[in-house]
Amino acid sequence: MDNGASSYRRFREDGDQNGLIEIIREYRDGLIFYLNGFVNNINTAEELAEETFVILGTKKPRDKGKGSFKTWLYTIGRNRALNYLKKNSRVVEVSVFECAELQADEETLEESYIKEEKKILLHRAISKLKPEYRQVLWLTYFEDFSNKQTAAVMKKSVHNIETLVYRARKALKNQLKLEGFEYEEL
Amino acid sequence: MKSYDETVNSVFEKIEEYNQNKIRRNKLVLKTVVPACCACLVLVATVLALGGEKPKTPIDTSTSSQKIYTGALVLGEMDGNQEGYGKGEALTGDPDGYVFPEGTSFPEGSSVSESTSETSTPQNEYIPYRPKIYLNQITQKAGAAKLHFGEDKYYSEEKNLEDLKEYFGKDFSKIDFIKDLLPNEFEFSDGVATKFYYEKSGKLVYDTAAFIYYKDEQSIRIFASKIGAPYDCIYKTEDDKTTKINGVDVLIGFEPTDDMKFGFVFAEFSHNGVNFRITMENVIAPIYFDAPDMMYKFVYNIIERPLQ
């Protein structure tokens, strides 16, 4: 699969539903984690990810081919998340039970998507940083996006992303230190 | 947290729901917009039908192509192309634009030449947009009983041209556009004057005036009256279909002769409280060929043109 572009083309132009199913299977979890960086609620992030796939299925937007399909998909997801935040600017309170459930969901997803123990710990430390740092670190460390791709998704300049990555890594190191971890790659 | 299959199902359910809503929306739009559009079209058509006559426009001699009939009559192009002659088309023998009642037909035509002469027409000539002309063939002529105004009950007054101008609001003795439309010099009959009859009480009972233009045997007559029919001879036609000329219903009739195409053409109409009959008689070919066309122009100018 070439980053999902050919699957999407099959779905969009030939009406092959398997194309969309392949995209959902390939990108759902990563997208949820990325969107969770915005809304900090794994269930809401899941809904937003689902909405992103629904947009692909209904509006069938055309991938302009400026970057990879994944970059484009994450950009659509990001716009959905920002719209959601604009409409739901009030802080949503959740019960203790709900909170525990959300945490359990996130842990399940971490285990299936991130797999490596070290990376799971890293992700948990990242989730305690501010939203902008969470997003940029997720894209660069977990999705292996280049600075250029990250800049495209986050609609910032490459220079801004470089600065942001530098500051986010510094903040993450401090966070890990606070929790008693050292991560060599940082 | 949903499994992959649950997410896939949920996504496709939402897509299906969206598509259903879209179909419903489209149907709703069709149900509301289409009737609304139809209503608008009907409204526009009604407005056009009731008041959509094209306004008069003076000829722009710099752009209009001129047509010359044999005999050197210069006519400007006709304005408008919805029915009858199209804009810029020559006035040829094509009977398109004329509508003949059943049982009648267009008289055989004579040759008409067309050129693009630079000869100009007067700047102030009004050439109307010409719709279909209904030509009613005269089937019978009937003389109406001559009115007799005995001196015991009535008295008369001679009216001169100034009086008639004041009475009818227009001076029909100075219709200069007639000369623009005719091939030869038609002269206004100098001696025209008319008698108005009144009851002893002073009530006006007869006010018919006749304005005559002639050239040898050819004549164009304009009869006018405010209080009655401006004639004493009735022309019965097959089918009294009228032609709308600038919103006025005009009955146009003709009587063909063996050698002169439209031997006789008349038009009857009422405008601004005045009843008119216009006749064209013995007008030689090729003018004869388009006598109904010329009649249309006369009527149009009388209705629309501000006369002196």
Across A30-39, average pLDDT: 89
Q: Which chain A residues touch B1 with a CB distance below 8 Å? A: 42-43, 46, 105, 108-109
CA distance A57 to chain B (A): 6
Q: What is the pLDDT of residues B41-59, one digit of tens each?
A: 888 888 888 765 444 433 3
Across B7-23, average pLDDT: 89
Q: What is the pTM of this model?
A: 0.43
Helices A42-58, A5-14: axis angle to 10 degrees equals 50
User: Is A58–B18 a contact, with Cβ atoms under 8 angstroms apart?
Assistant: yes
**Is the model more confident about B116 or about B267?**
B267
The residue of chain B nearest to residue A22, with distances taken between CA atoms, is: B8
Task: For residue B286, give the nearest of B218, B216, B212 by alpha carbon.
Answer: B218
Q: What is the pLDDT of residues A35-68, one digit of tens each?
A: 988 888 888 999 999 999 999 998 888 877 667 8
Instruction: Inform me whether the C-beta atom of residue B19 falls under 8 Å from chain A C-beta atoms.
Output: yes
**What percent of chain A shows pLDDT beyond 90?**
24
For residue B51, the model assigns a pLDDT of 66
Q: Which chain A residues touch B14 with a CB distance below 8 Å? A: 50, 54, 57-58
CA distance A25 to chain B (A): 6
Q: CB neighbours of B15 closer than 8 A, spacing ≥ 6? A: A54, A57, A58
For residue A31, the model assigns a pLDDT of 92
- Examine the pLDDT at A150 and tell me if it is beyond 80: yes
CA distance B3 to chain A (A): 10
Instruction: Inform me whether the C-beta atom of residue A28 falls under 8 Å from chain B C-beta atoms.
Output: yes
Alpha carbons A64 and A50: distance in angstroms, whole number = 22
Which residue is associated with the tokens 């998507």?
A113
- Examine the pLDDT at A185 and tell me if it is beyond 70: no
User: Is A57–B4 a contact, with Cβ atoms under 8 angstroms apart?
Assistant: no
- Examine the pLDDT at B217 and tell me if it is beyond 90: no
For residue B64, the model assigns a pLDDT of 31
Among candidates B1, B4, B18 on the partner chain, residue whose Cβ is nearest the Cβ of A108: B1
**Is the model more confident about A56 or about B76?**
A56
For residue A78, what are its two tokens? 């990001």
CA distance B13 to chain A (A): 9
Q: How many CB pairs under 8 A join A and B?
A: 39
For residue A147, what are its two tokens? 């600075």
**What percent of chain B shows pLDDT beyond 90?**
3
Q: Produce one character per residue of A23-39: b if its CB has 16 or more CB atoms within 10 Å, e if not.
A: bbebbbbbbbbbbbbbb
Q: What is the pLDDT of residues A62-107, one digit of tens each?
A: 877 667 888 899 999 999 998 888 887 655 555 555 556 666 677 7
Among candidates B1, B4, B15 on the partner chain, residue whose Cβ is nearest the Cβ of A54: B15
Instruction: Please provide the DSSP assignment of chain B as one string.
Output: ---HHHHHHHHHHHHHHHHHHHHHHHHHHHHHHHHHHHHHHHHHHHHHHHH-PPPP-B--TTTPPPEEETTTEEEPPPS--SSSSPTT----S--TTEEPPTT--PPPP---------PPPPTT-B------EEPEEEEEEEEPPPP---TTTEEEEEE-HHHHHHHHSS-GGG-THHHHHSSS--EE-TT--EEEEEETTS-EEE--EEEEEEETTEEEEEEEESSS-S-SEEEEES---EEEETTEEEEEEEEE-SSSSEEEEEEEEEETTEEEEEEEESPPTTGGGGHHHHHHHHHHHHHHS---
Beta bridge partners of B187: B214
User: Is A24–B14 a contact, with Cβ atoms under 8 angstroms apart?
Assistant: no
Residue-averaged pLDDT of chain B: 68
Q: Which chain B residues touch A42 with a CB distance below 8 Å? A: 1
Q: Which chain A residues touch B12 with a CB distance below 8 Å? A: 17, 20, 57
User: Is B11–A109 a contact, with Cβ atoms under 8 angstroms apart?
Assistant: no
- Per the CB < 8 A criterion, the answer to whether B222 and B230 are in contact is no
For residue B158, the model assigns a pLDDT of 86
- Per the CB < 8 A criterion, the answer to whether A45 and A77 are in contact is no
For residue A47, the model assigns a pLDDT of 93
Alpha carbons A24 and B195: distance in angstroms, whole number = 102
Residue A121: Cβ within 10 Å count: 16
The amino acid that residue A81 corresponds to is A
Alpha carbons B137 and B252: distance in angstroms, whole number = 9
User: Is B11–A50 a contact, with Cβ atoms under 8 angstroms apart?
Assistant: yes
User: Is A17–B1 a contact, with Cβ atoms under 8 angstroms apart?
Assistant: no
Entry field: residues in chain B? 308
**Is the model more confident about B174 or about B240?**
B240
For residue B205, the model assigns a pLDDT of 87
Q: Which chain B residues touch A57 with a CB distance below 8 Å? A: 11-12, 14-15, 18
Across B118-139, average pLDDT: 56
Residues 41-70 of A with CB under 8 A from B: 42-43, 46, 50, 53-54, 57-58
Tell me the pLDDT band of B122, cut-offs 50, 70 and 90: very low
Across B22-41, average pLDDT: 84
Q: Which chain A residues touch B8 with a CB distance below 8 Å? A: 21, 24-25
User: Is B4–A25 a contact, with Cβ atoms under 8 angstroms apart?
Assistant: yes
Q: What was the ipTM of the complex prediction?
A: 0.78
Q: Which chain A residues touch B18 with a CB distance below 8 Å? A: 54, 57-58
User: Is A54–B14 a contact, with Cβ atoms under 8 angstroms apart?
Assistant: yes
Q: Produce one character per residue of B113-127: b if its CB has 16 or more CB atoms within 10 Å, e if not.
A: eeeeeeeebeeebbb
For residue B269, the model assigns a pLDDT of 92
Q: From residue B179, how far is each of A5, B68, B187, B215, B282 by CA, in Å?
A: 81, 15, 9, 11, 16
Q: What is the pLDDT of residues B57-67, one digit of tens each?
A: 333 333 332 22
DSSP state, residue A90: S
Q: Which chain B residues touch A105 with a CB distance below 8 Å? A: 1
Among candidates B1, B4, B11 on the partner chain, residue whose Cβ is nearest the Cβ of A54: B11
Q: Which chain B residues touch A53 with a CB distance below 8 Å? A: 7, 11
For residue B67, the model assigns a pLDDT of 28
CA distance B23 to chain A (A): 13
Q: Roughly how many angstroms between the first and final C-alpha of chain A, as a whole number? A: 31
